[in-house]
Amino acid sequence: MKCRAQQAPVCMCILIILSAVSIKSTQVPYRLHLVITLLLSLLLSLLLGVCSAESNADTLDLSKVQDTPPQLQLAKIYQSDMQLENYLVSEKLDGVRGVWTGTKLVTRKGNAIDAPDWFIAQLPKGVCVEGELWRKRDDFETISALVRTKQQTEHTQALWKQVKLMLFDAPCVDGNFAERYMYLKQLSIGKANVGAIEQKRVSSNDELFDWLDDVVTAGGEGLMLHKMNARYFHGRTDNIVKLKPKHDAEAKVVAYTAGKGKYQGMVGALVVELEDGIRFKIGSGLTDVQRQSPPPSTVLSPLNIRGYQKGRTTVCSV
């Protein structure tokens, strides 16, 4: 049973009344009885406050995003030893992540998205959900520019008509991912510009990678795997995993290697470190400008990494 700190005054009043009534039937001195009652009331208030804090901790409030970005769930990279029977799989849509706080639509970083009123009217009041603002495959630049537009024109209104918020999770809804997915499906029924990304089960790595090949061949970005029994986690977690032919990662530059031959006097490769501590070199893919003025050490840089596998150190490209 959930408790609330707002109930404390009511509980204290009841306790005091019961204590006062019981004075007549006991031999405890009045002052001592009153002290005991006040101490019990204070203890009750503290306990109710703890319960309220624990209850509030279970629910993510995305309505206060003016000063800080939403605390969202972030994916890790697919590993071949994963138990696929525990996951639901969907296509990874290459759009712009949109978070509906229950009152407004914002980006992953908490910036307001000025969507038309008729678009906003289709989103659930008071319930926070997240999804991908998406129109079609290989269309990221169009969606990105549209999301940054602050003044609606006839052209942008026409584009918004073609955009859907494709829902993939509901941070504030209780339940595991399979249950949250069913909720999203119900939520999107009858909405022209709201949908739920289809989730499927796969039985083997071969089936998974065949699907990946089909998606990429058709111009898609990759796949996402959601652990079915997982609660929403605020931060990076293996409850949600991405599978792409090339992986986006955030790496810290920790050192450089000297260039040779035509790169004499410039940087030959960056030595970078992922958040799990694995270090490797990025040699190819760097421009001459980057080799002459590489990013400073300790800088976190978003990278497209090819050839990286967990547990190995290998020369990669960006």
Tell me whether residue 284 is in a domain: yes
On whether residue 106 sits in a domain, the answer given is yes
Domain shared by 163 and 297, yes or no: no
Vertex 87 angle, CA 130 and 200, to 5°: 75
Residue 62 included in any domain: no
Pair 80, 222 in one domain: yes
* Beta-strand pair 73-77/235-243: parallel
Give the pLDDT of residue 288: 81
Exposed e or buried b per residue across 142-164, where buried means at least 16 C-beta atoms within 10 angstroms of its C-beta: ebeebbeeeeeeeebeebbeebb
From residue 121, give the alpha-carbon distance in Å to each of 14, 85, 151, 273: 45, 37, 18, 44
Regarding whether 20 and 136 lie in a shared domain, the answer is no
Has residue 237 got a pLDDT over 90?
A: no
259 shares a domain with 238? no
Least confident range of 8-12, 41-45, 124-128, 272-276: 8-12
- Kindly state whether residues 233 and 255 are assigned to the same domain: no
Give the chain's mean pLDDT: 76
Looking at the structure, tell me whether residues 251 and 239 fall in a common domain.
Answer: no
Statement to judge: residues 92 and 137 lie in one domain: yes
The answer to whether position 186 is within a domain reads yes
pLDDT confidence tier of residue 312, bands split at 50, 70 and 90: very low
Range of the domain at 175: 73-243
Strands 267-273 and 247-258, bridge-based pairing: antiparallel
CATH of the domain at 146: 3.30.470.30
| Residue 276 vs residues 76, 77, 110, 145: alpha-carbon distances, Å | 11, 12, 26, 33
Dihedral pair phi/psi, residue 34, rounded to 5°: -65, -40
Same domain, 10 and 138: no
Integer distance in angstroms from the first to the last C-alpha of the chain? 52
166 pLDDT tier (thresholds 50, 70, 90)? very high
- Choosing from 243, 265, 298, the residue where a domain stops is 243
Domain assignment present for residue 285? The answer is: yes
- pLDDT, one tens digit per residue, over 117-148 is 999 999 999 899 999 999 999 899 999 999 99
**Integer Cα distance of 61 and 76 in angstroms:** 23
Active site residue 92: yes
Whether residue 63 is contained in a domain is answered as no
Residues 200 and 274 in one domain: no
pLDDT in tens, 192-202: 999 999 999 99
**Quick one: pLDDT at residue 282?**
76
My answer on whether 131 and 231 are in the same domain is yes
pLDDT, mean of residues 256-268: 86
Q: Which domain-ending residue is among 211, 243, 275?
A: 243
Number of domains, the chain: 3
Domain membership of residue 66 (yes or no) is no
- 275 shares a domain with 216: no
Domain boundary among 192, 225, 243: 243
| Top-confidence residue, 224 or 275 | 224
Give the tens place of pLDDT for each residue, 82-100. Answer: 788 999 999 999 899 999 9
- Identify the pLDDT of residue 31: 62
Pairing relation of β-strands 315-317 and 279-284? parallel
Letter string b/e over residues 169-190, b meaning 16 or more CB atoms within 10 A of that residue's CB = bbbbbeeebeebbebbeebbee
Write out the two tokens for 180.
């949250």
Flag whether 226 is in a domain. Answer: yes
Asked if residue 213 and residue 133 are part of one domain, the reply reads yes
pLDDT (tens digit per residue) in 28-50: 566 666 666 667 666 655 554 43
Catalytic residue selected from 92, 164, 227, 244? 92
